[in-house]
Structure 1
Amino acid sequence: MNWLVTYLMHGERRTLLMKSRSTPTLKALAFAIQDLEFPGTPRPSRSSAAMAAWLEEVGITVLNIAPQKKPLLPMRPQSFHLNRA
């Protein structure tokens, strides 16, 4: 399932779309945000409590996590030909 994560980074509202089978954990959220906001930095092996402290330290506040339905495929225009006899 896709999840839309809304968060603040130093007061600026940002969003992140991530995949997870169930509601993402705080640690998964922190890693996803780290990959997006600080690309190329190594992932530390930290506990969830330490990741929460890290998010606060770098000025990130998670506001909302909402499930997103998969978007429907766009429909292609179709033409119908009626055979009239």
Structure 2
Amino acid sequence: MAVLAGAVLPDAPVPLGPESVVRRHLSLVGVHNYEPRHLTAALAFLEETRDRFPWQDLVAEPVPLEEIGALLTSSPGTKPRYAVTAH
């Protein structure tokens, strides 16, 4: 599953192969309605629990936004979450 949050302005298209999405039973979800306080609370939670939970072990190294299509259709990596950078 991929969750796209906060991408509310026009940007470059993201190439995505529909055949891979269907065969791998992938889900793509857009999340729009959140407020800055929700992001602040989420970051505070991560900061407060960083010594209790191995958050860094859950997220792969960031990849550039233009590679998101390949990321979504490639074989899963060793980490359950991906990170994407705008650059």
The TM-score with structure 1 as length reference comes to 0.25
Whose strand fraction is larger, Structure 1's or Structure 2's?
A: 1
Whose helix fraction is larger, Structure 1's or Structure 2's?
A: 2
Give 1 or 2 for the bigger CA radius of gyration. Answer: 1
The TM-score with structure 2 as length reference comes to 0.25
